[in-house]
Amino acid sequence: MDLDTFWYYTRWHHAANRRRYRAPATPRRLVDADPSDVEHYTNALPLTHGLGRVRGGDWDADQNRTPLRETDTYRGLRERFEDGRDWVDTALYAQAVDRFDDQPHVRGYESIEAFRETRLPYLDDLHDAIATEGYRANAAAAEATDDREAGHVPADADNPFETAYANRLEPLVVVARDGEFVWIEGYHRFAVADLLDLDAIPVQVLARHERWQRVRDAVARDGVDAADLPAGVAATHPDLADVVDD
């Protein structure tokens, strides 16, 4: 998958959504997500079909969500950046070792040595850059041809996994029927932002549950005070801002 194809699918979904719904979101619109409010991630939807999809079904059900902070990746990053452990003593490193025992490549790397020498220093640099310079968004990624213009410098420019189209986007979320943001891509950036207690980072919405889209439509039609919002959802929900402003 290349970025041009990804944007083609994005345009297709937006055209379909405009025919079906009162308040379809502009698909490339950035939404501010507070990392501390995000509890789960999912891999229930494919990444390759563009932004802004509206999907019904049970893809947002509890059985398709995993607690973010219980994963080896998150625990390993916390052990590194909060506890000060050497990388080889973290859950993230142990996870990589286990994966290399079962498969020839992990994140495009051919050995645990290459992963240790290239990927892990990149994560150190990512953490330090965000801590000292603030979060650097990929907002120019849609048009940029140079990685630095796009806000993303890959860990290894010769590694197709590290240079894949998804790394040129913002972190991706899906919005469940109850309005919950569920993470789906950009996991390391999320974890670092969360560990650094950032108030919000820009994300892009890969998909919304159809029931949540109906909430957006109701807000657009009746106003946020009259719309029937899901329990716990405030009028200030980040994914209603564009509808309320209209």
- pLDDT per position in the chain (246 positions), as tens? 788 999 999 999 999 999 999 999 999 999 999 999 999 999 999 999 999 999 999 999 999 999 999 999 999 999 999 999 999 999 999 999 999 999 999 999 999 999 999 999 999 999 999 999 999 887 544 444 444 444 557 788 888 778 788 888 999 999 999 999 999 999 899 999 999 999 999 999 999 999 999 999 999 999 999 999 999 999 999 999 999 865
Spatial separation of the C-alpha atoms in residues 79 and 221, rounded to whole Å: 48
Spatial separation of the C-alpha atoms in residues 19 and 98, rounded to whole Å: 48
The H-or-E segment that residue 172 falls in is strand 172-175
Q: What amino acid occupies position 127?
A: H
- Give the residue carrying structure tokens 């108030």: 199
Q: Are 37 and 177 contacting, i.e. CB atoms less than 8 angstroms apart?
A: no
> C-alpha 19: how far from its chain's center?
27
The beta-strand segments (E) located in the chain are: 31-33, 40-41, 53-55, 66-67, 172-175, 181-185, 201-209
Instruction: Locate 137 and state its tokens.
Output: 């968004």
